[in-house]
């Protein structure tokens, strides 16, 4: 399986990192080794001193597809969750300055924990979902999928022009504004429409 991530999909987040608002989706990949087994903590890597959380809605693909039209994209997933797109911001900044690929800063081991997946039929409309991250019980980041520059079905269509989507592939759909650093000892809890889907300790 593969993990496809979308960058700069919320205008306010693009602005907070001083990036331009894109005219088409920004896409990058993480390998399957970026997944974090359930109930395992995230171990702060020694190659960074500035790991940031990015709370994102995650879509799980459950049907094989290529060149999917936006109007049919909804048939390719039935479950959603939240994930954290952990980012070594210090390393990413250096790589961006040199115009180099981001993978070391974005795709390292454990950089893509995901929560419990929820059947979309039990949720509000996918373009109207509230989500929130609490750290040590305090609200730190929140968003609504209505703020996406490219909605979920458009993302699926776009991504599938380049990569065949396979059952089990995950799409991280981008983070809203409010990203920030984590610290060893932190306790992260992510809520999709008031349901806690992810619970993660930083070690």
Applying CB under 5 A, the residues found at the interface with Mg ion are 54, 85, 175
Q: How far is the C-alpha of 175 from the C-alpha of 53, rounded, in Å?
A: 9
The CB-of-155 to Mg ion minimum distance in angstroms stands at: 13
Q: Identify which of residues 54 and 169 has a Cβ nearer to Mg ion in the complex.
A: 54
* Residues 159, 69 contacting (CB under 8 angstroms): no
Q: Compare residues 65 and 129 and give the one whose CB is closer to Mg ion.
A: 129
Closer CB to Mg ion, 85 or 169, in the complex? 85
- Region of residue 71 (left: phi > 0; alpha: psi -120 to 50; beta: else): alpha
Smallest distance, Å, CB 58 to Mg ion?
A: 11
Radius of gyration from C-alpha coordinates of the chain: 16
Strands 55-61 and 3-7: unpaired
107 in Cβ contact with 29 (< 8 Å): yes
CB of 14 to Mg ion, least distance (A): 11
The CB-nearest residue to Mg ion is 85
Closest CB 66 distance from Mg ion, rounded Å = 24
Of the pair 73, 84, the CB lying nearest Mg ion is at 84
């Amino acid at each position: 399986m593969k993990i496809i991530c979308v960058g700069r999909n919320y205008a306010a987040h693009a602005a907070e990192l001083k990036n331009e608002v894109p005219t088409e989706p920004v896409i990058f990949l993480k390998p399957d080794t970026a997944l974090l087994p359930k109930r395992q903590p995230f171990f702060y890597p020694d190659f960074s001193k500035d790991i940031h959380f990015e709370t994102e809605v995650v879509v799980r693909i459950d049907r094989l597809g290529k060149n999917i039209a936006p109007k049919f994209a909804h048939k390719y997933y039935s479950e959603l969750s939240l994930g954290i797109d952990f980012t070594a911001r210090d390393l990413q900044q250096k790589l961006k300055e040199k115009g180099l690929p981001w993978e070391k800063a974005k795709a390292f081991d454990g950089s893509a924990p995901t929560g419990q997946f929820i059947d979309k039929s039990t949720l509000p409309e996918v373009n109207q979902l509230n989500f929130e991250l609490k750290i040590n019980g305090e609200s730190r980041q929140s968003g609504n999928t209505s703020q996406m520059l490219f909605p979920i079905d458009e993302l699926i269509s776009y991504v599938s022009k380049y990569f065949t989507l396979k059952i089990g592939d995950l799409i991280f759909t981008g983070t809203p504004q409010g990203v920030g650093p984590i610290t060893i000892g932190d306790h992260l809890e992510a809520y999709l429409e008031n349901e806690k889907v992810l619970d993660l300790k930083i070690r």
